[in-house]
Structure 1
Amino acid sequence: MEEKMMKRIEKTMDRLRANQMAAYYVETKEEVVPLLKTLMNEGETVTHGGSVTLGECGVIDMLNSGDYNYLDRSKAQSPEEVEEIYRKAYFADTYLASANAVTEGGLLYNVDGNSNRVSAILYGPKQVVFICGCNKLVKDLDEAVMRLKSVAAPQNTKRLNCDTYCAKEGECLAMGNDASYMCDGCMSPARICCNYVISARQRHKDRLKVIFVGEELGY
């Protein structure tokens, strides 16, 4: 980890803590699961949002170990069962996710299409734990918006086989507009940027927790 990046992460962690969010740092993705196990109890109910990062860190394998009551939507047999798991997530002890961006000012920026992830971030689970590679760190909200439109959304629409402009062109349709706003974008029915959530200072101390990892992970 370069000294400059480490200082940025340390600054961001201080700002997150000032905003009533817990913050942690691990050097490698292999250290994520051992840390998570200290934040969760065996037998508790756990679920997660869609995330490449969780798979890269071995978190999904940990959840499949049998030590937790894992609400696994990938095992659902119908769309109705998937929806039921989404609703049960509100009663989970722990909800795991990654963030689209984390600002140096201690804000979390998340944008969803289906919005089961952002709704659980806002309310429901007893704690929400974000695992974020250092590539998710941005200077401010303007940079967070640009990251979403130029990196996160295009790569996720490709991963999900969505018929959107950004999946085909590699960036949001609004990127060519000098006066583009946060919510500007395509009109596709498959659009994944529908609800925009910024998490600032929290009322419930340490309900939101952020684990920074000293390598690039996810989108």
Structure 2
Amino acid sequence: MAEQVTRPEGSQVVIEVWADLGCPWCYVGKHRLQAAISQRPDADRFKIMMRSFELDPEAPQELEKNEESFIRTHGGTAANVLQAERQMQAMAHKEGLEYFVDRLNASTFNLHRVVQYAGDQGLGFEFFSDVQDGFFAGTLNPYDSDALAGVAESVGLDGQRVREILAGNEYADRVRADRTEGLELGATGVPFVVLDRRVAAPGAQKVPVYARLLEQVAGPVPGERVS
């Protein structure tokens, strides 16, 4: 997935992002990708599409503390988790991002079902991004249906439709299919970014790396000469 193809100038470039809500590197990587795009004068060419990837499909529906969730899936001690979280917090703060350590976690399957609906309306990334930002800032409970409906309405979606989806089982198959497709494309974790279905970038890359990948799939920044 590294084919070099020259695209028509000004044509849209689709960037697919496989991510999960509580993944700190997804949070950081998302903002780095957005920063790389915003540096280009043709930023409106790039369409970010959100794809679902549950890191822990066996996560409980009941809320659990962040350290409990980590130890359940990775082992270690609460002290280990806190140390790692403080390091992530310091890095996030250095990049201008809020980072609340005492988060609560649970299954993200229902959130991803709403993301699928939002994606059908062309607002999947906007919805997911706002939910994730609120989650890491400690200002939003993403497991509360009213909170998700509120975010949905703020980005232009139908809040009542979100409540209906959360009360049922719509989009469940699509959430699972997204994860399967990500694995087939080479994802071993998230974030996993695929640009124009030609270039894959695993992990949270730094802004200059994303910038180079954007140039690879979309050409140099308009106005620049290639020597």
Question: TM (normalized to structure 1)?
Answer: 0.29
User: Is the radius of gyration larger for structure 1 or structure 2?
Assistant: 2
Structure number with greater CO (CA < 8 Å, separation at least 6) is 2
Structure with the bigger percentage of helix: 2
